[in-house]
Structure formats: C-alpha cells, structure tokens
Amino acid sequence: MNYISVAEAAKRWGISERSARNYCALGRIDGAFLTGKTWNIPETAKKPDRINKNDQNPTDLLSRLKAEKKAKLHGGIYHRIQIDLTYNSNHIEGSKLTHEQTRCIFETNTIGLAETVRVDDVVETANHFKCIDMVIDNAAYAPSEKFIKLIHAALKNGTTDSRQDFFAVGDYKRLPNEVGGKDTTAPEDVADQMKRLLSKYNETGEKTFDDLLDFHYRFEAIHPFQDGNGRVGRLILFKECLRNGIVPFIITDDLKMFYYRGLQNWRTEPGFLRDTCLTAQDRFKKVLDYFKVPYCDG
C-alpha cells in the first residue's frame, strides 16, 4: 500500500494540515501510523465525515464511553472505569496487583514492581481492559452465548489456564466446579442451561434492576466456565446496565463479602444483593456527577 503525507492529504481534502493531523491522532483515519513524528496516511484514505455538533458532547454514559474510547482520551470517565472496574473485579478473584499498578499497566503498558507478582495477574489485567472495550462496543446488543464466550476467551487468553489441556478458553467447562462450597451446573448440562437462561432473559424488552441481578445470579449459579465466571458475569452485568439505561456499578473490596452473601441468598432474600448493588450504584453516581454525565435517578 502507498502512503501520503499530512500535507498531501490536507490538500486533497481541502482542510488545514493541523486538521489532518488531528484526524490521525484521534484514530479517525484507518491505517494511519506514525514514523517518528511523521504521520503516514494510506493513499486510499478518505476524509472523515464531519461530527454532528450534537455528537461532540454526548450526554448519556454509553455515548460518552464510546466517544472517549475512540478519541483515546486520558483522564475521562472511560479511563476511570477501565482502571477501577479492572482492579476491583480482578481483586475480588485474588489478584495481588494494586490499584496504582493497574493504572500503570493501562496508561503506560508497563508495571513498577517492588515484589514478586503472578504473571497471570498482569496478563488478565491487560486482557480485562480489552474486555471492557468489547462491552462498550457491543453494549447495544442483547447478550448471546457467542459474545459471552468471546469475553471469556479475551479474558483468559495467554494465561497459565489457557495452556492446560482440560481448560477450554472461550468455551464451556469440561470438569465439574463449585462456587462458595455449592454445586454448579454439570458440564454436560451447561450449554442447555445457558441457552434457556438467555432465551428467557432476552424474550422481554425493558429490564428492571432486579431483572439484571436475577440474570447475574443465575449465570453465576450455572458457572459455565472452568474459571473466570465472576469477572465475565460482572462484565456482562455492566454491559446490561449500559444497554438498559441503568446506572452501572463496581463491586469494591469492602462490598465483596456482602456481594457473595447476596448471591448465595438471592432466591430467599433478594434484598441482600439488591442493597449491596444499590450501595455500589450510589457510589458510581458520584463518579458520574464528577464527570458531569447525566443519568436517570430512578
């Protein structure tokens, strides 16, 4: 493929060289790349469409996340969610990386270490960032087996588990497992149970907060994967909040035991899980307020 300079592209498109460089920097020209400080633009590239003024300041959370992700914006709510959700969800599952180390991996793709850490913690942290991007990109679509498996594949790619013969990355478990000392769905029944769960969940349109929590509980009860079920489940829960216009939330370490209690007692006392998640949601509303992202307070 042949490439042209910023000056050539600007002349072709009838814009300033500064505008052409900005298009490149914002990732709006596919295939453009830097050599030193010089942008190389594919000869076949077309001038990006003008952004509608109404789209320049997206109001809802999902639109804001998509815009900030596309612009590779640092310091915004997309940046904040990537770090906070990844750190907390991995920490629940035993990751020893600190919040600051998680931030460092996201911002610089490096990590400062004063002690020994598990390579899997680092790999799964980087993988989780990709999973959040997948959630944002696909938030508008109803959950499916294919998408859930893709999330699992992205999360566990390159880990020690992925090198185990018994471990099916991106596919349902092959060996029985348990969660919190309780039995989960047998491997041979997982595919059928997941189809039933998704079919029932997707047959109705608008979802309530409790609908999302019930789906999360049932997913975790099935425990469809050999490992990574909690993180995949929380990613799907975050996605469904975005899809249904419900304020999402992040389960932090101080809420972990209440969250586990809520899952274990959902059928008999749903208030445990509901109250824990509402507490987390109230905290997330403060983040939305800080970044001036409007939300429905219902």
Residue (of 143, 240, 262, 234) closest to 197 by Cα position: 143
Cα atoms in the Cβ-side hemisphere of radius 13 Å centred on 104: 10
Does some domain include residue 40? yes
Residues 131, 168 share a domain = yes
Does some domain include residue 296? no
Last residue of a domain, one of 33, 50, 67: 50
Residues 29, 174 share a domain = no
- Residue 18's domain comprises 3-50
CATH for 240: 1.10.3290.10
Does some domain include residue 81? yes
Residues 69, 22 share a domain = no
Q: Output the DSSP codes for the chain.
A: --EE-HHHHHHHHTS-HHHHHHHHHTT-STT-EEETTEEEEETT--PPPPPPHHHHS--SHHHHHHHHHHHT-SSSHHHHHHHHHHHHHHHHTT----HHHHHHHHHHS----SS---HHHHHHHHHHHHHHHHHHHTTTSPP-HHHHHHHHHHHHTTSSGGGSTT--TTS--SS--EETTEE---HHHHHHHHHHHHHHHHTSSS--HHHHHHHHHHHHHH--SSS-HHHHHHHHHHHHHHHTT-------GGGHHHHHHHHHTTTT-THHHHHHHHHHHHHHHHHHHHTT------
Residues 92, 18 share a domain = no
Q: Report the C-alpha gap between 192 and 189 in whole angstroms.
A: 6
pLDDT string in tens for the chain (298-residue length): 788 999 999 999 888 888 888 788 777 888 888 877 788 899 899 888 765 544 456 679 999 999 999 999 999 999 999 999 999 999 999 999 999 999 999 999 998 877 888 999 999 999 999 999 999 999 999 999 999 999 999 999 999 999 999 999 999 999 999 998 899 999 999 999 999 999 999 998 889 999 999 999 999 999 999 999 999 999 999 999 999 999 999 999 999 999 999 999 999 999 999 999 999 999 999 999 999 999 987 6
Does some domain include residue 220? yes
Residues 153, 23 share a domain = no
Residues 176, 29 share a domain = no
For the entire predicted model, the pTM comes to: 0.81
230: its two tokens? 């909690």
Last residue of a domain, one of 12, 33, 50: 50
Q: Is 86 exposed, middle or buried (0-12, 13-18, 19+ CB in 10 A)?
A: buried
48: its two tokens? 């990006």
133: its two tokens? 């991007």
Residues 170, 41 share a domain = no
Cα atoms in the Cβ-side hemisphere of radius 13 Å centred on 135: 31
Residue 178 β-bridge partners: 183
The total domain count for the chain is 2
Residues 205, 175 share a domain = yes
Q: Report the C-alpha gap between 150 and 12 in whole angstroms.
A: 40
Does some domain include residue 141? yes
Residues 85, 13 share a domain = no
Give CA separation, 216 vs 192, 230, 236, 295, in Å.
17, 9, 8, 22
Q: Report the C-alpha gap between 202 and 21 in whole angstroms.
A: 44
Residues 155, 26 share a domain = no
Residues 152, 75 share a domain = yes
Does some domain include residue 295? no
Does some domain include residue 138? yes
pLDDT of the residue at 114: 76
Does some domain include residue 297? no
Residues 164, 65 share a domain = yes
